[in-house]
Amino acid sequence: MIALLMRDLRLAMRAGGGFGLGLAFFLIVTVMVPLSVGPQAALLGSIAPGVLWLGALLACLLSLDRLLALDWEDGSLDLLATAPLPLEAAVSVKALAHWITTGLPLVLAAPVLGVLLNLPVPGFKWVMISLLLGTPALSVIGTFGAALTVGLKRGGLLMSLLVMPLYMPTLIFGAEVARRGAIGMDIQTPLLMLAGISAASIALLPFASAAVLRINLR
Amino acid sequence: MSLRISDLCIARGGIPVLEGLSFALEPGQALILRGPNGSGKTTLLRTIAGLQPPVSGTIEGAEDMIAYAGHSDGIKPTLTVSENLDFWAQVFGTEGIAAAIEAFDLDILRDRPAGELSAGQKRRLGLSRMLVTGRPIWVLDEPTVSLDAKSVMMFAEAVRAHLGQGGSALIATHIDLGLDSAVLEVGPFKAKLPAIDDFDGAFL
């Protein structure tokens, strides 16, 4: 498992690996929003948590179609499926690698970009915490979407359509934590819901991903 | 550790391709599969490797025993030759890639990114993966594609050494590898069954 994680991280860092793709997209979205909204600091401050969450979600979505498709194209997925590593473990590790290369940089970049969006000071902590809790769910759900569409050429559109509704609960509760945190309201309920969604996705979805992958490999 | 196939029926895309297939592969033996294009050799090998379920019949002794090599080599172009092999050695929990590097004469290519290799060199790298898996049964689908005559000899030598160590090999190929092995012609097992009317099958 560690070998697979290290390989995926190494591939992401090498030329053409796509590391930084999500981060660059996140940066573009959040830099463009203040320019398009105009000089209204109060409005910007109140939409900042939602914009940061939406940007992070779209950045995650952008990098999903490479998650399993590259391994499928060069035949490594067939070989992994016949290796001693269970497919459930393999998809979990791939989701983890996706989170480390995409989700974690987003969490770390969010407070910096929050400054650009005039995010209220109490919000910084909660934006980071909500993203830290929510992005693992985005990676795991995304891996499931990638597994569903793995054999399809140009499956990116179909995958986005399939994954979008599954992303909604994470987005709703994640952005709610950040919004309430920013204006000093009680965050306990959405925070627990977000943590629950992440925990359930991480626990259950690898089995679903492995099952659909087995079907797609036939 | 012998592989036993009995009364196997396999399908591709809902259409049965081979039926009534039975054979056994004992340690130290190789079996060459022959048959025209589209006769179901690849489907048979993928079924035996566990990538798809058979329609009927049983496969015994395949679980965790098989090293499979299909049409594509599963090589990552941005990793070097030794990084590619090291990865598979770690996945299969075996030690050392030196024997594999030596058997397929990859020493001078060790630190080259695999994406820069020629088609034949990539194939050699793909085949050398079989040696690092440490699995006793090799299932190879057209292993000699894009190999030159010298590399084919190298490959045949590796298979012979593997058989000598009590391993076995099931190889679908169109050329003569010079191995002293049985040949199974799959043509006579062509399925005469109608297409499987199983709408849910595509989803389950």
Question: Which of A2, A71, A78, A80 should one mutate to test binding to chain B, selecting the residue with the greatest count of B CBs within 10 A?
Answer: A78
Q: d(Cα B43, Cα B31) in Å, to the nearest integer?
A: 16
pLDDT at B201: 57
Cα of A87 vs its chain's centroid, Å: 21
Q: What are phi and psi of B58, to 5 degrees?
A: -130, 150
Residues near B102 by beta carbon (within 8 Å), at least 6 away in sequence: none
State whether A84 and B92 contact (CB < 8 Å). yes
Contacts of A80 in chain B (CB under 8 A): 91
Q: d(Cα A133, Cα A99) in Å, to the nearest integer?
A: 11
pLDDT tens over chain B, length 204 residues: 688 888 888 888 888 888 888 888 888 888 888 888 888 889 999 999 888 888 888 888 878 888 999 888 888 888 899 888 889 888 888 887 888 888 888 888 888 998 898 998 999 999 999 889 888 899 999 888 888 888 898 899 899 899 988 888 999 988 888 777 788 888 788 877 777 666 665 555
User: Mean per-residue pLDDT for A68-72?
Assistant: 88
**Residue in A with minimal Cα distance to B133:** A83
pLDDT in tens, A162-189: 999 999 999 999 999 999 999 989 999 9
Q: Indicate whether A200 pLDDT > 90.
A: yes
For tokens 């090799």, name the residue: B138
Q: d(Cα A55, Cα A113) in Å, to the nearest integer?
A: 11
pLDDT at A170: 95
pLDDT at A65: 84
Work out the pLDDT band at A39, boundaries 50, 70, 90: confident
Q: Which of A35-44, A137-146, B145-154 has the highest mean pLDDT?
A: A137-146
Q: Indicate whether A18 pLDDT > 80.
A: no
DSSP state of A104: H
N residues, chain A: 218
Three-state DSSP string of A124-182: HHHHHHHHHHHHHHHHHHHHHHHHHCCCCCCCHHHHHHHHHHHHHHHHHHHHHHHHHHH
For B176, the 3-state DSSP assignment is coil
Q: What is the pTM of this model?
A: 0.90
pLDDT at B200: 62
State whether A11 and B50 contact (CB < 8 Å). no
What is the token pair recorded at B74?
Answer: 């599963």
